[in-house]
A and B are shown apart, each in its own frame.
Chain A
């Protein structure tokens, strides 16, 4: 079993839709949770960062962490064609530095 599981997709939605991206994990020591966006032929770009459980909102993006269920989500409201990219979840344990990445979900937002 992988430490971090993420559905690779692809996920195709119409413009304006609400997108839900999810990851599950098995290591209860993870405390820092990140979402990265990676456009084709580019390096990953940090999108959202959350510590422990709870929600964090930034514009059209909301990150949720449910540590009891070992489940994290990224919601994108009013999705745009420019949101088309691969989204990677990532997490780091307390006191550690080794970040573990999910496989990434490819998202296509159709105009």
Chain B
């Protein structure tokens, strides 16, 4: 398994501002994923962060709103831009085991936009 550290663990932000969430893994991984978990809901994949190339976004998520960086095989950031109260959610970083089957998660960032 992988140990994933995510920062910040929570934040309260003003609408219209941006927040960058950091994800650090204790081993090199090919693929890192960013999920959103809205209150009472399951996990929705935002994008796959690939090292050395642009992130791949799922339907309904765009790079201008959720820019992602992946500078190396152990680190990624997700920025939530121009936030609105609808962005209030838990954001989770995840990595997949070899073979891309089991996924492991960080503790998540609980974001509240006021």
Instruction: Sort chain B's interface into a size bin.
Output: 20 to 34
Contact A43 B103 (CB under 8 A): no
Whole-angstrom CA separation of A42 from B104 in the bound complex: 13
How near does chain B come to A35, taking the closest CB pair, in angstroms? 11
Contacts of A34 in B (CB 8 A): 101-103
How would residues 46 to 59 of chain B score, 1 for a CB under 8 Å from any chain A CB and 0 otherwise? Answer: 00100000000000
Complex Cα gap A8–B41 (Å): 9
CA distance A43 to B100 in the complex (A): 19
- Flag if B43 contacts A101 (CB, 8 Å): yes
A44 near B92 with CB under 8 A, answer: yes
Tell me the complex Cα distance, A8–B42, Å: 10
Given contacts A32-B102, A103-B41, contact A43 B31 (CB under 8 A): no
Q: How large is the interface on A (under 10, 10 to 19, 20 to 34, 35 or more residues)?
A: 20 to 34
Bits for B78-114, please: 1 = Cβ < 8 Å to A, else 0. 0000000000000010001000111111111010000
Q: A42-55 toward B: CB 8 Å interface, digit per residue (1/0)? A: 11111001010000
A92 adjacent to chain B (CB < 8 Å): yes
* In the bound complex, CA of A88 to CA of B41 (Å): 11
A97 in contact with B100 (CB, 8 Å): yes
Picked from B6, B43, B104, B108, the residue with its CB within 8 Å of the CB of A46 is B104
B107 proximity list for chain A (CB < 8 A): 42-43
